[in-house]
Structure 1
Amino acid sequence: MDYTKLLNDKSGRISKVGIIGATKGYGYTLLAQIPTVAHMQLRAICSRHTDDCFRVLKEIGYDESKMVLCETEDDIKRAPEDAIIITSDYHLVMETGITAMVESTGNTSVSTDAAITAIKKHINVYMVSKETDSVCGPYLNQLAEKHGVVYCLVNGDQPRNLLDLISWARLLGLDIICAGKSSEYDFIWNRDTGEFLYNDGNHEPELLPDMQQYWHYQGVETLKGRDKLLEKYREVISADLCEMNLVSNISGFTPATPFMHYPICKPSELANIFIPKEDGGILEHTGVVDVFYNLRDIDEASFCGGEFIIIRAKDEKMWKILAGKGHVMSSNGKYCCIYYPYHFMGLETPGTILLGDLMGIGTHPECRQVSILAGVANVNLCAGTELIVHGHHHEIDGLTPKLLESASAGNAAPFYLLNGAILKKDVTKGNPITQEDVDLTSSPVYQIFKEGFVMK
């Protein structure tokens, strides 16, 4: 897309941004980028720790004289129009005159309430909290459509970037076989020294000379060899499956497998792997979402948790021409991989906000609960166990995430509705947590999920 029209907009309109969950990780990257963006102003930020807001804004270089702590609506009314409102109450963010509410707390209850409040006040909503969208996406997209405002996922995180790639391919009439992303961290092997590192920050390098025999791809047997050699590093990551859940619900693609395949491979191999089994790949069916582990040498660029699609190459002569340009093709010439090897977090997000605020682009009223992120007990769990979401990947101890097609999910409870829930009965290893295993009836988010689940 050419953004020149947005950049040169002469209407005088300004995106006035309020960020909830503002000071760490994603929120920090967005705060750092906003001052450089045309037609955009930071109006409000919210955190339970307002001291952190002041500290981070000063660190980035915002004008300290414009920062105003507001604890009531009256405080906001007294603040100057160009003030940066800092508050610990997310409800107050919607009273500051913002046009764009960015939600990045990762707290399903808070972000759902904040999104609904903003939409009903005709404020556009830019959802970073993927946990919330996995549970309430269909409902929130429909609500935004009803109220004539934007509700959307953001560029800078993998789901929106991948959905943009999918929509581009569909516009061109390309036949998408598989859509997916690399997992967050790389498998790095130094061919000169034989040293291997899984760079998640929790592992030390080890010597692994046996990787040499599996370095060059020679079919699915190579994948099996890599899996066996690196078995202790393989895991199912909640964040990965949650992101594919979001893509599934908007694109209509179904999970390739409930735990994702996670082949350990290089970008140059993707067009030979995420294709039907009858053509030498790993897929039982097409029109699916999936995830891989990026394998690279020490001096090769990372895939950076980026996104890809595999398309069917229909015109043989055309694809031979494109293969000559160096594009990633399958060995049989029938498939091509197209990819974005990046997601730049909040650095990219202002583009999403301007597309929404100035052009009304972003809402997906077609979003439906195509798949459900469930949690399967990986140990025997006793009645009375409290389930808590925690950690960088927003995991739940004792559960392995599992992405199920809605049609076959039965009464599985959505993973991110389980935070704080207490098991009413024992759950044996291998069984999913069901809506009957926990009491969700008092949760407003559960009621919203049920409304979205039945949408046709």
Structure 2
Amino acid sequence: MDFTNLLNDTSGKVSKVGVIGATKGYGYTLLAQILTTAHMELRCICSRHTDECFAVLKEIGFDEKRFLLCETIEEIQKAPKDAIIITPDYKMVMETDITAMVECTGNTKVSSDAALIALNKGINVYMVSKETDSVCGPILNHIAAEKGLVYSLVNGDQPRNLLDLISWARILGLEIICAGKSSEYDFVLDWETGKFLYNDGTHESEPLPELKEYWTYKGVDTLKSRDKLLQKYREVISADLCEMNLVSNVSGFTPSAPFMNYPIAKPNELANIFIPKEDGGILEKTGVVDIFYNLRETNEASFCGGEFIVVRAKDQKMWEILAGKGHVMSSNGKYCCIYYPFHFMGLETPISILLGDFMGIGTHAECRQVTVMAGVAEKDLPAGTELKVYGHHHQIDGLVPELLEKSVTGNAAPFYLLNGAKLLRDVKQGTPVTLDDVDLSGLSTFELFKKGLELG
């Protein structure tokens, strides 16, 4: 998309942004980029740790003379129009004159409530908390559409970037065989020393020169050999499956497998891997979402947790021309992989806000609960076990996530509704936690999830 007309807008309109849950990581990158984005102002920031807000805004370069702590509606009403309001109460954010509410707490209860308050006040919602969208996305999209407002996933996180790539392919009439992303961290080999590193920051490098034997892709057996050699590094990551849950609910694509395939692969191999088995790939069906671990040398660029689609190459001559340009084609010439090897976190997000506030782009009224992310017991879990979301990947101790088509979920409980729940009875290893195993009554996000299911 060309943003020149948006950049040159002379209407005087400005996106006034309120950010909930932002001082570190993603939030920091967003705040830093708002400072330089055209037609955009930071109006309000919310965190329980208001001292961190003051420190971060000052560090980024916002004018500290404009900072104002407000804890009540009355204080907000008295605030100067150019003040950057800092508040510990997320509900106060919607009492300011913002046009855009960005939610990035990762807390399903807070973010769903904040989204509803914003939409009811005529404020567009930009949802970073993928945990919330995985259970409430369908109904929140529906409510926004009914009100003529925007509810949007954001660029800078993989689901929106991948959905943009999918929509690009669909408008061109390309048949998408598989859509997906690389997992967050790469598998890296130092070719000279033979040392291997899984660069998630928790693993030391180890000598693994035998990986060179499986460096050149020679078919599915190569994947099996890599998997066997690197088995201890392979895992099903909650954040990955949650992101594919979001993509599935908007695109209609279904999971390739409940735990995803996670092949260890290089980008130039993807068009040979994410294709039907009868053509030498790994897929049992097409029109699916999947994930891979990016394999590279130390001197090669990362895939950066980026996104890809594999499409069918129907016009042989056209795709031969494109193959000559160096695009990633399958060995049999039937498929091509198209990819964005990036997601720039909050750096990209202002684009989504401007597209929503200025052009009304974002809401997917067609979003439905196509898939449900459930949690399977890794071991026998006794009654009384409290389930808690924790860590960078927002996992739950004792559970491994799986992504299931709605038609086969039965009464499996959505993964991110389990945070804080206690098991009412024993759950055996290998079985999902169901709605009968926990008490979710009175949980507002559960009610929103059920309303989403009623959309059909």
Looking at structure 1, the residues matched to 273 and 134 of structure 2 have their Cα atoms a distance apart, in angstroms, of 27
Q: TM-score, normalised by structure 1?
A: 1.00
Amino acid at match of 1:28: Y
After superposition, the C-alpha distances for 1:131-164 in whole angstroms (9 at most, x for unaligned) are 0000000000000001110001000000000000
Shift of 1:22: 1.2
Q: CA deviation at 1:192?
A: 1.4
CA shift at 1:454, angstroms? 2.0
Q: Deviations over 1:406-447 (max 9, x none)?
A: 000000000000000000000000000001100001101101
Structure 1 letter corresponding to 2:448:
I
Paired position in structure 2 for 1:309: 309
Match of 1:197 in 2: 197
Answer yes or no: is 1:250 the counterpart of 2:250.
yes
The unaligned stretches of length 5 or more in structure 2 are none
CA–CA distance in structure 2, aligned partners of residues 20 and 419 of structure 1? 20
Counterpart code for 1:339: Y
Q: CA deviation at 1:284?
A: 0.1
TM-score, normalising length from structure 2? 1.00
Aligned-pair CA distance for 1:37: 0.6
Matched residue SS, 2:185: strand
Other-structure match for 2:284: 284
Q: CA RMSD in A?
A: 0.4
State how far apart, in whole Å, the 1-side matches of 2:448 and 2:372 are. 14
Query: How much does 1:336 deviate?
Result: 0.0
Aligned runs of 1:399-414 on 2, under 5 Å? Answer: 399-414=399-414
User: How far apart are 1:298 and its partner, in Å?
Assistant: 0.7
Aligned counterparts of 2:5 and 2:256: Cα–Cα separation in 1: 39
Deviations 1:294-326 (A, max 9, x none): 000110000000000000000000000000000
- Cα distance in structure 1, aligned partners of 2:406 and 2:114: 26
Partners of 1:274 and 1:246 in 2: CA distance:
20
Query: 1:177, 1:299 → 2: CA distance?
Result: 31
Identify the residue that residue 48 of structure 2 maps to in structure 1: 48
1:65 and 2:91 are equivalent in the alignment: no
Q: Could you tell me which residue of structure 1 aligns to residue 228 of structure 2?
A: 228
Q: Please state whether the residue corresponding to 1:442 is helix, strand or coil.
A: coil
Runs of 4 or more, structure 1, over 3 Å off, are none
Structure 1: 5+ residue stretches without partners:
none
State the partner residue of 2:28: 28
C-alpha distance in 1, partners of 2:353/2:342?
19
Match of residue 80 from structure 2 = 80
Cα distance between partner residues in 2 of 1:442 and 1:142: 22
State the shift of 1:370 in Å: 0.3
1 CA distance for matches of 2:131 and 2:71?
Answer: 28
- Other-structure match for 2:169: 169
Match of 2:132 in 1: 132
Partner of 1:2: 2
Aligned pairs (5 A) from 1:354-365: 354-365=354-365
What percentage of residue pairs aligned between the two structures are identical?
Answer: 73
Partner of 1:218: 218
Q: How does 1:144-159 map to 2 (within 5 A)?
A: 144-159=144-159
Q: Does 1:270 align with 2:273?
A: no
The amino acid of 2:123's aligned partner reads I
Partner secondary structure for residue 400 of structure 2 = strand
Alignment length, in residue pairs? 456
Per the alignment, residue 186 of structure 1 pairs with 186
For 2:47 and 2:416, locate their aligned partners in 1 and report how far apart those are by CA, in whole Å: 21
Give the Cα–Cα distance (whole angstroms) in 2 for the partners of residues 25 and 150 of structure 1: 25
Rounded to whole Å, the distance in 1 between the matches of 2:212 and 2:200 is: 22
CA distance in 2, matches of 1:382, 1:216: 46
Letter in 2 for 1:344: F
CA distance in 1, matches of 2:24, 2:245: 24
Code of the aligned partner of 2:323: A
Tell me what 1:375 maps to. Answer: 375
SS in structure 2 of the partner of residue 164 of structure 1: helix
User: CA offset at residue 363 of structure 1?
Assistant: 0.2
User: Which residue of 2 is the match for residue 392 of structure 1?
Assistant: 392
Query: Within 2, Cα distance between the matches of 1:64 and 1:194?
Result: 51
Give me the whole-angstrom Cα distance separating, in 2, the residues matched to 1:117 and 1:78: 21
Measured after TM superposition, the shift of residue 372 of structure 1 is 0.3
Which SS does the other structure have where 1:262 is aligned? coil
Q: Which residue of 2 aligns with 1:428?
A: 428
Q: Deviations over 1:157-200 (max 9, x none)?
A: 00000000000000000000000000000000111111100000
In 1, the alpha carbon distance for the partners of 2:190 and 2:64 equals: 47
For 1:19-43, what per-residue CA distance to the aligned partner results, in whole angstroms no more than 9, with x for missing partners? Answer: 0001011111000001111100000
Following superposition, the deviation at residue 375 of structure 1 comes to 0.2
Cα offset for 1:213? 1.0
Matched residue, 1:104: 104
Separation in 1 of the partners of 2:444 and 2:105? 18
Whether 1:122 and 2:141 are equivalent positions in the alignment is: no
